Chain A
Amino acid sequence: MTTTDMTPVTKGGDGPELNRRRRVYKPNTRYVPILATLFLLIVMYSSGVANFRNFEDPSVIVNLFRDNAVLLVVAVGMTFVILTGGIDLSVGAVISLTTVLTATLLKGGWPPLVVLPAVLLLGALIGAGQGAVIHFFKVEPFIATLAGLFLARGLALFINQQSIPIRDALWKSLSETRFPLADGVVTKPIAVVAVVVVLIAAAVLAWTRFGRNVYAIGGNADSALLMGLPVGRTRIAVYTLSGFCAALGGVLFSINSTSGWALQGNGMELDAIAACVIGGVLLTGGSGFVWGTLLGVLVTGLIRTIINFQGDLNAAWARIIIGVLLFAFIVMQRLVTRKAK
C-alpha cells in the first residue's frame, strides 16, 4: 500500500463536531402545506357543525366521497403529472369523451364488460400519446395537453351532441347499489372506487421506484437523467396514468348519471388542478402527496356542502371561495419554498 508516508487521520476529532453543528432540527417544510389544508378542513367542518343542524351526521362526510368521486379520481392522476412538474389540461375532455363513447357503445348493444376496458384503454392511450409528444418532441405539457383537450372534446361532440341515456343493466345496478356503512349511513360503488384509487396511488408514490422517480423528475429532471433514471419512460407513464384516471372518472360519471353527454366534465381539469394546489402539491413539481390532493378535494367539496346547508347563498360563492383559497395557498407555497432555500 501507499499509506506508509501518510499521517494517520485522527478519528473523532473536530469532524463529527462540525457535522453535529449542521444537524440542526428543521421542521420538514414538505408537510407544512398539507397540515395547513388539514387545519382548514377541520375549521370548516367545526364551523359547519356549530352553525347548521344535522351537519354532524356522518353521512355529510361520507357523501363528500360520493359527490366528489369523479373529481377525486381525476385529481389523483393530475397529482402524478404535477409532481413531475407537468400539467394535464385534457382530463375534463377525456371524461366527456368517455361518457359519450360509453353511452353510445352500450346503446349500440356492446357487452358492458367489453365497453369498460375499451374506454379505459382509450383514455390511457390518449394520455400516452400526449406524454410521447411531450417527451420526444420536447413540447410544453401545457400546449400538448391543450391540443388533447380540443381533440377529445371535439371527438365527443362529433359522436353525439345530445345527452344519451344509458339503460344497460350493469350500469343501472352499479348506479343503484348501496353499501351500508353504519346505521343510516350508506355509500355508492363509485365512492369505494375513488377511495381505492387514492390508496393505490399513495402506495405507488411512496413505495415503488416508479413513484420515487416521479418525485426525482419533478425535483430536477436533468439530475434525474444523469443519475441514470428512466426519465422519458416515467414521464410518458404519468400522462398515461392521468389519461387512465380521467377515463375511469368518465366511467364513474356515466354510472352516477346513467347518461353520456359531450359537455360533461367541462372545466373539470381546472377543478382537479385547484384541488391539487389546495392540497399542497407544488405546481413546480417534486413536492406533494396524494393525501394532500384528497384533502384538497374534500375542502372544495365541503365548501359546496356548506353553501347547500346555508340554503339562500348563491352557488357562485363556491367558486369565489375556491378562488380566494387558491390565491392564499399559492402564496403560502411560495413563502414555504422560499424559506426552504
Chain B
Amino acid sequence: MGEQSPVLEMTGIRKVFPGVVALDGVDFRLFPGEVHALMGENGAGKSTLIKTLTGVYEIDGGDIKLGGRPVRISGPLQAQQAGVSTVYQEVNLCTNLSVAENIFIGREPRRFGKIQWGKMRQRAAELLARLDLDLDVSAPLSSFSLAIQQMVAIARAIDVDARVLILDEPTSSLDSAEVEQLFRVMRRLKESGVAILFVSHFLDQIYEISDRLTILRNGRLISEHRIEELSQVQLVEKMIGKELAALEDLEDKAQSNRERAAEAKPVLEAKGLGRAGAIAPYDLTIHEGEVVGLAGLLGSGRTELARLLFGADKADSGEVLVDGKRINLRDPQVAMKHRIAFSSENRRTEGIIGELSVRENIILALQAARGWTRPIPRKKQDEIVDKYIKALQIRPADPERPVRNLSGGNQQKVLLARWLITEPRLLIIDEPTRGIDVGAKAEIQRLVAELSDGGMAVLFVSAELEEVLRLSHKIAVLRDRRLVEELENTADVDADRIMQTIASGATS
C-alpha cells in the first residue's frame, strides 16, 4: 500500500483556539481504497482535524493536498466540491421526504424546470444498488431504520463523486446487524477506490473494518499503524498515555482507607439498573466513605451509568436502593432528597451559570432543596460562601464576581461547592478535572480524598486512568456500554491491568 500515492495528505496541520493549541503539527494521510480509523480520547483533536478537512475550521498552519494538489478548504460546500464528503452521527436528512428526494434534493434531474420524478427514482435505485441496497425509493425516509437512513446519507455523499468519505461515529446508535450492513457498504465503497476516514469509539469495530489507524493525543500525532501491527492493548495505551504520577501520596492514602470502606455500610445499591441504548443493566454498590472510580473509554457508558444513579435519565430496568430501601428515582429531585449530588461533566452547559456570581452559583442547589419560597438569609449565604471559598481555595476569592470570569478549575470548584453545601451522602462527579490545569487537578483530587475520609461516598468518573487509580477504593470498568469488571484497587492493580480489561472486555 505504501508505494501508492495518497489521495489526501495533510502535513504539519496546526490549529489554535484562544488559549489552546488544538492541533500541533499533525500529519495525516489517506490512501484510495482504504478504511482509516482516526483514534484518540476526548480532546485529542480528532474532531478538530475532521473539521479542518470539512471546511468548518480554517487551519492556522500546514498543508492539505488532495490528489497531489495543494488545496485551501474554506467551507463545507467547497470541501464537497473538492471531493470530501461527510456523514455525521446524527443523520442530516429530511425524514418527511422520500429516499430518492433525500439523495437528490437540490440536484434533481429536471426538464423545463419540472422535476423528472421517474428519472430521479431510477437513478436513486441505481445508486443504492451500488451500495447493495434494495429500497423502495419513493417511500418516506422516516419509514426506514436509522441504519438505512445513514446509508441513504452515504448515497447522497458519494453521488457528488466523493474521493474522501468521512464517517464520524456512524455506528454509535446502530445495533450489531445494522453495523454489519453499514460495514458491507463501506467495503463496497472501498473496493471502488473511495478513501474512508472512520471514527468510532468501539474498538472491535475499528479492528473489524479498518486497514490502518492514526492515533492522536492532546492535539499531537502519536503514530500511524497498519491495523495488524498493533494490539488492542497497545492501542489503548497509546490513546490514554501514561501521565506522570504527581500525587503518589494520595494513592497511598486511598490504599490505607480501603479496609475501612469495605466494611462500612452501603449508601446506595443499584441492582440490574439499565437503560436501553445507553447502558446495559449493571449492579453497583457504593459504601460510606468509599470512592468508586469509573474507568473506560469515551462512549463506553461512563456518564450514562452515572446519570441513571441521579435520575437524570430514567432507567428502564432494575432498581435503586438507598440505605437498603428501594426508591423510585423518577427525577433528579428524588435523588437530591436522598442527598445524592451530581456534578455534571458539561460544567458550562449543565452546571455553571456564567452570568451569576460565585455566591449565587454556590447557593443555587441549597436554595432549590429548601424550596424557593424560603429564601436563605443573605447573612447566612455570605457565611456559607466564605467558608467554601476558603475551604476549596476558589480564586479570586471574590463572591460577587461573575463565574464566567473564573478559570475552568475554579469554575469546577464552584460547582463542587454548590453540591457540597447540600451535604450529600453520595457525590457523583463526572469528569471534574477535564480541561483544567495540573495544579487545579491536584487540588480537586485532594478534595475528593478528604471528602471520602469524612465519610462521604463518592462516584468518581474520569477519562484519566491514573487519576481513577490514584483516588478510588474500587474501580468499575466499562466497555461498549457495559460494566465488564469491578475490582478492588489493591496494590497489584495498575493501569496495564485496567487497560487489559478495557481492550479485551474479558475479565481474567
* Chain A residues in the interface with B (C-beta under 8 A): 1-3, 6, 9, 11, 15-16, 18-20, 22-23, 26, 28-30, 206-209, 212-213, 215-216, 218-220, 222-224, 226-229, 286-287, 340-341
Q: Could you tell me if B134 and A19 are in contact, using CB atoms closer than 8 angstroms?
A: yes
Cβ distance A253 to chain B, nearest Cβ, rounded Å: 32
Contact A23 B135 (CB under 8 A): yes
B93 on the A face (CB < 8 A):
yes
Residues in B neighbouring A224, C-beta threshold 8 A: 94
Q: Is the CB of A227 within 8 A of B93?
A: yes
14 A-B pairs whose Cβ atoms sit less than 8 Å apart in the complex? A1-B193, A9-B188, A16-B134, A19-B135, A22-B135, A206-B115, A212-B97, A212-B108, A213-B105, A213-B106, A227-B156, A228-B80, A229-B105, A340-B142
The answer to whether B115 and A209 touch across the interface, beta carbons within 8 angstroms, is yes
A212–B100 alpha-carbon span in the complex (Å)? 12
Give the docked Cα–Cα distance between A206 and B97 (Å). 12
Instruction: Say yes or no: A212-B115 contact (C-beta < 8 A), given A19-B135, A229-B106.
Output: yes
Q: Are B114 and A215 in contact (CB under 8 A)?
A: no
- For the complex formed, measure the closest distance between the CB of B156 and the CB atoms of chain A, giving whole angstroms: 8
The 5 closest A-B pairs by CB, nearest first: A219-B94, A219-B96, A286-B96, A223-B92, A226-B92
B185-221, CB under 8 A of A: which get 1 and which 0? Answer: 0011011010000000000000000000000000000
* Interface size counted on chain B using CB atoms at 8 A: 45
Q: A248 → chain B, closest Cβ, in Å?
A: 22
Closest chain A residue to B180 by CB distance?
A18
Query: Are A16's CB and B106's CB within 8 A?
Result: no
Are B134 and A23 in touch, CB under 8 angstroms? Answer: yes
Contact residues in A for B93 (Cβ distance below 8 Å): 220, 223, 227
Q: Is the CB of B140 within 8 A of A228?
A: no
Q: How many A-B residue pairs have CB under 8 A?
A: 103
Task: Tell which of B77, B96, B117, B156 touches A215, judged by Cβ atoms closer than 8 Å.
Answer: B96
Q: Which residue of A lies closest to B34 (CB)?
A: A2
Q: Contact: B188 with A216, CB < 8 Å?
A: no
Which of B26-46 touch A at CB < 8 Å? 31-34
Residues from chain A with a CB closer than 8 A to the CB of B500 are none
Give 1 or 0 for each of B126-147: 1 = CB within 8 Å of chain A CB: 0000001111100110111100
Contact present for A287 and B92 (CB under 8 Å)? no
Complex Cα distance, B96 from A218, in Å, reads 9
Residues of A within 8 A of B117 (CB): 207
Could you tell me if A1 and B97 are in contact, using CB atoms closer than 8 angstroms?
no
B101 at the interface (CB under 8 A from A): yes
> Closest CB of chain A to B259's CB: distance in Å?
53
Kindly state whether residue B95 has any CB partner on chain A within 8 Å. yes
> Which residue of chain A has the shortest Cβ distance to B1 in the bound complex?
A2
A-B contacts besides A18-B177, A226-B92, 15 pairs, CB < 8 Å: A1-B33, A6-B187, A11-B132, A15-B184, A16-B134, A208-B113, A209-B108, A212-B101, A213-B106, A215-B97, A216-B94, A219-B94, A227-B106, A286-B94, A340-B140
In the complex, how many angstroms separate the beta carbon of B79 from the nearest chain A beta carbon?
12
B96 and A287 within 8 A (CB): yes
The distance from the CB of A27 to the nearest CB of chain B, in whole angstroms, is 10
A226→B153 CA distance, assembly (Å):
12
Shortest B119–chain A CB gap in Å is 13
B204 CB to closest chain A CB (Å) equals 18
A219 to B134, CA, bound (A): 24
Interface residue? B148 (CB, 8 A): yes
CB of A216 within 8 A of CB of B148, answer no
B327 to chain A, nearest CB (A): 31
The smallest C-beta distance from A265 to any residue of chain B, in angstroms, reads 32
Are A20 and B134 in contact, with the CB atoms below 8 A? Answer: yes
Once the chains bind, are A2 and B94 in contact (CB under 8 Å)? no
Cβ of B188: which chain A residues have Cβ within 8 Å of it? 9
> Which of A6, A212, A213, A215: most chain B Cβ within 10 A?
A212
From A23, A213, A223, A229, residue with most partner B Cβ within 10 Å? A223
Given known pairs A18-B177, A341-B142, the reply for A9 and B96 (CB within 8 Å) is no
Q: Which of B92, B113, B144 contacts A22 (CB 8 A)?
A: B144
List CB contacts (< 8 Å) of B93-126 with chain A.
Answer: 93-97, 101, 105-106, 108, 110, 113-115, 117
Q: Which residues of B contact A223 (CB under 8 A)?
A: 92-94
In the complex, residue of chain A having the shortest beta-carbon distance to the beta carbon of B156: A227
- Measured between alpha carbons, how far is A215 from B142 in the docked complex, in Å? 14
Inter-subunit contact B139/A26 (CB<8 Å) = yes
- Which A residues lie within 8 Å of B184 (CB)? 9, 15
**Which interface residue of A206, A220, A287 has the most chain B CB atoms within 10 A?**
A220
Query: Which A residues are in CB contact (< 8 Å) with B77?
Result: 228
Answer whether A6 and B132 are a contact pair too, CB < 8 Å, given A18-B177, A30-B140. Answer: no
For the complex, give the distance between the alpha carbons of A222 and B88 in Å.
Answer: 13
Q: Which residues does chain B contribute within 8 Å of A18, judged by CB atoms?
A: 177, 181
Q: Do A3 and B114 have beta carbons less than 8 Å apart?
A: no
Flag whether B4 is at the interface (Cβ < 8 A). Answer: yes
The CA of A28 and the CA of B139, in the complex, are separated in Å by 8
Docked Cα-Cα span, A1 to B5, in Å, equals: 11
Report yes or no: B106 in contact with A26, Cβ–Cβ below 8 A: no
Chain B residues with CB under 8 Å of A212's CB are 97, 101, 105, 108, 115
Task: Give Cα A26 to B141, complex, Å.
Answer: 12
Give the complex CA separation of A292 and B66 in angstroms: 50
Q: Most B CB atoms within 10 A — which of A9, A18, A22, A286?
A: A22
- Beta-carbon nearest neighbor of B110 in chain A: A209
Nearest Cβ in chain B — how far from A213, in angstroms? 7
Interchain CA distance A2-B32 in the complex, whole Å? 8
The answer for the CA separation of A63 and B115 in the assembled complex, in Å, is 35
Contact with A along B449-485 (1 / 0, CB 8 A): 0000000000000000000000000000000000000
* Contact A15–B132 (Cβ < 8 Å): yes
Query: B223-235, CB under 8 A of A: which get 1 and which 0?
Result: 0000000000000
